[in-house]
Amino acid sequence: MAGAGLEDIVAGETSISTIDGKRGVLTYRGISIHEMADHSSFEETVFLLWYGRLPKAAELDDFRNALSRETVMEDRVAAWLKSLPAEANPMSLLRTGVSLLGLADPEEGASVTPEPWKEGFRYMGQLTSGAPGFGRDHPQSRKAIRLLGRMTTLVPAIQRVMKGQPFVEPKAGRSVAFNFLRCLTGKDPEEGSEKIFDKCLILHADHEFNASTFTARVAAATLSDLHSSVVAAIGALKGPLHGGANTEVMRMLLEVKEPSKAKAWVKDALERKRKIMGFGHRMYKTEDPRATHLRRMSESLCAKVGQPQWYEMSRLIEEAMWELKAIKPNVDFYSASTYYCMGIDPEMFTPIFALSRLSGWTAHIFEQQANNRLIRPVGEWVGPQEAHWEPMEKR
């Protein structure tokens, strides 16, 4: 039988992102995550993931504007959101929110039949006006742009539902990072915050066949629609072994409270067989390359806002985990203190992960449906060889 958890099993081909876990390498369409984090923007990253190449200047402008135009939610979606229970889990609200966006989508019923679908995706590299196929002319492309645009304002709206606050309108022509922070806080972000957040979005955008992406591909392979596949992915991301870990990391830091207690806290937790959130990875045998950037960002941001304890505590926990378990931090560890020092509530950390990863999920949904075969593995039977129904009085 395959290893538990399908470890090391190749489940399909992809040309979107790849990981070399031994060397700590992650690439998007062959480009190192370090180059992307240092030089790119989230919108450019999404373009790269969706269309397979970096955009030219006019194409990037065009794409940015298209996303920005789609940030405004329909009035009826806003009204439905306001009727949701404020005390609900934010990822449950997000899952429901994406479902509502699907109901309101003007092309909700667009059929996903294999042949026209393949035809459309043959042109994945040609987005600009006039290009045939997948460009704006394809319903799935329009839906993807609408969904990512709306997600920019849906995620902050979730927090506002939870706090009973009014929704904030996005600004036309601004980036996903800018409008997200504006709609979350009610204030236009400073350029520095926009840049840091943009980098966080780049770092979380895609990660090969991780659990939520694989879930999205399984749903997409039945030729289900984009919103349904994304709702399935959100369900998978919610769990603490996946995206839910970043919120749990901040809960841990708040529980530890001060750097002097960090190492003893880790030792005690490990003795009680607790898993330390934000550590370990199925693929990486060395440093997660995303953590390298987030560690630096956490250090400078915690210092800048006068809360160096969160970074110091994180470093000490990292040291303890290395000394006691030889396990390194993953993407969720330093993103927690980074977001916290940006003034973001811990409960929003996983929905933010979803906002970024939507770009990767969508790219994988496109890729799956462009060359589709139903994903249907087999289970190894470990039940009884033969059993019989028995009348009630004999049981």
Bridge partners (DSSP) listed for residue 329: 279
Is 20 designated active site? Answer: no
Stretch that binds ligand CMC, among 61-69, 97-105, 162-170, 276-284 (CB under 6 A): 276-284
Q: Which of 145, 173, 163 is nearest to 84 (CA)?
A: 163
Contact call for residue 332 and ligand CMC (CB under 6 A): yes
Q: Least distance to ligand CMC from the beta carbon of 23, Å?
A: 18
Rounded CA separation 250/252 (Å)? 5
Contact call for residue 241 and ligand CMC (CB under 6 A): yes
- Residue of 195, 251, 282, 315 that binds ligand CMC (CB under 6 A): 282
Query: Which of 14, 185 has the CB closer to ligand CMC?
Result: 14
Residues 138, 227, 281, 364: which is the catalytic one? 281
Contact call for residue 242 and ligand CMC (CB under 6 A): yes
- Residue of 210, 314, 335, 368 that binds ligand CMC (CB under 6 A): 210
Handedness of CA 329, 334, 337, 339 (dihedral sign): negative
Contact call for residue 277 and ligand CMC (CB under 6 A): yes
Question: How many C-alpha atoms does 80 have within 13 Å on its Cβ side?
Answer: 17
Query: Which of 134, 333 has the CB closer to ligand CMC?
Result: 333
User: 51 to each of 15, 38, 54, how far by Cα in Å?
Assistant: 11, 21, 8
Angle made by CA atoms 297, 363, 214, in degrees to the nearest 5:
90
Q: Least distance to ligand CMC from the beta carbon of 370, Å?
A: 25
Stretch that binds ligand CMC, among 12-20, 58-66, 109-117, 322-330 (CB under 6 A): 322-330
Stretch that binds ligand CMC, among 9-17, 25-33, 274-282, 359-367 (CB under 6 A): 274-282
**CB-based closest residue to ligand CMC:** 280
Is 281 designated active site? Answer: yes
Are the C-beta atoms of 46 and 359 separated by less than 8 Å?
A: yes
Contact call for residue 356 and ligand CMC (CB under 6 A): no
Query: Which of 161, 316 has the CB closer to ligand CMC?
Result: 316
Contact call for residue 281 and ligand CMC (CB under 6 A): yes
Contact call for residue 11 and ligand CMC (CB under 6 A): no
Contact call for residue 377 and ligand CMC (CB under 6 A): no
Q: Least distance to ligand CMC from the beta carbon of 7, Å?
A: 7
Rounded CA separation 215/336 (Å)? 25
Contact call for residue 217 and ligand CMC (CB under 6 A): no
Contact call for residue 331 and ligand CMC (CB under 6 A): yes
User: 218 to each of 132, 252, 309, 366, how far by Cα in Å?
Assistant: 28, 33, 42, 12
Q: Which residues bind ligand CMC (CB under 6 A)?
A: 5, 210, 241-243, 245, 275-282, 325, 327, 330-332
Q: Which residues are catalytic?
A: 281, 332
